[in-house]
Amino acid sequence: MRLEQLTFTRFLAAISIVVFHYGKNVFPFSHDAIDFLFRQANIGVSYFFILSGFVMIIAYNNKDKIEFWDYMKRRFARIYPVFFLAIIVLLIYFVIIGKPIDYKALILNITIVQSWIPGYALSFNGPGWSLSVEMFFYLSFPFLFNHFYKEYSYKKLIVPILIFFIGSQIALHFMRYSSFYNGFPSKSHDLIFYFPLMHLSEFLIGNLAGMFFLKGIKVRNYDLPIIILIVFVSVLLKMNIGINYHNGMLAFVFLL
């Protein structure tokens, strides 16, 4: 099953992330009326993690079992070639401009494990941290699918997944506002915001939503609810109430 309607939402999330990194100080994104949206547009990464969990369920729902190696070859082929090409291009660029090469960072990036090592999540090819997290999701999914999703109904999975999600949010905010956190950049920042296990709840929530979706959603016009949600998210981003949305706090809004 392919859900073509999701394509435009991917575009919105992706372009928002690009603006967050490279355009939030440029007009019109820097205008006082809308700048608060783009200062926090990195939540688009959270949307992608949740969406990944959702579409994986949609893609594999009809299978009785996932064969790990065949599955991983397909997943690997989907993301790694372009990722590796980006590393090669960056490596050539660093050589040309005479920038010293951190070979440990290079190896961690090539093996897509940089997000597991605090202090290296944003090393060499910074945006690659999210693919390091995605690879963890890909490795986890066959186990989850074969031993849980095919064994239990989604109703039995709601409570444990929600408990894990809530626990993750509590852990994030506890660490974020404790003496443990040393700000950005620091190893504590990497552990809270880039470590793969800190994002697993987003993937699981996406899985759960996918199972719910497959049970049947009434088809009707959702334009008004979508507009309301857009306004709601805008208000949340405008208000500074000390809540961090980066690691899935907006999951239920994104799912709707």
Domain layout of the chain by residue ranges: 6-255
Please state the pTM of the whole predicted model: 0.91
* Degrees, nearest 5: CA angle 124-93-196: 20
Token reading at 197? 């296990």
- Residue 24, phi then psi, degrees to nearest 5: -70, -15
Distance between CA 127 and CA 55 in Å, rounded?
22
Of 213, 217, 211, residue with least CA distance to 155: 211
Amino acid at 4: E
Q: How many CB atoms lie within 10 A of CB 178?
A: 9
Per-residue pLDDT of the chain (256 residues; tens, 9 = 90+): 677 788 888 898 899 888 888 888 888 888 887 888 788 888 899 999 999 999 999 999 989 999 999 999 999 998 999 999 999 999 999 999 999 999 999 999 999 999 999 999 999 999 899 999 999 999 999 999 999 999 988 889 999 999 999 999 999 999 999 999 999 989 999 999 999 999 999 999 999 999 999 887 777 788 888 888 888 888 888 886 777 888 888 888 888 8
Contact 162, 211 (CB under 8 A): no
Which stretches within the chain are classed as H helix?
6-22, 35-39, 43-60, 68-97, 103-110, 129-144, 154-176, 187-193, 200-214, 223-238, 251-255
Token reading at 37? 């949206």
Which residues, in sequence order, are CB contacts of 149 under 8 Å at separation 6+? 57, 157, 207, 211
Query: Given the structure tokens 């088809």, which residue do they identify?
Result: 219
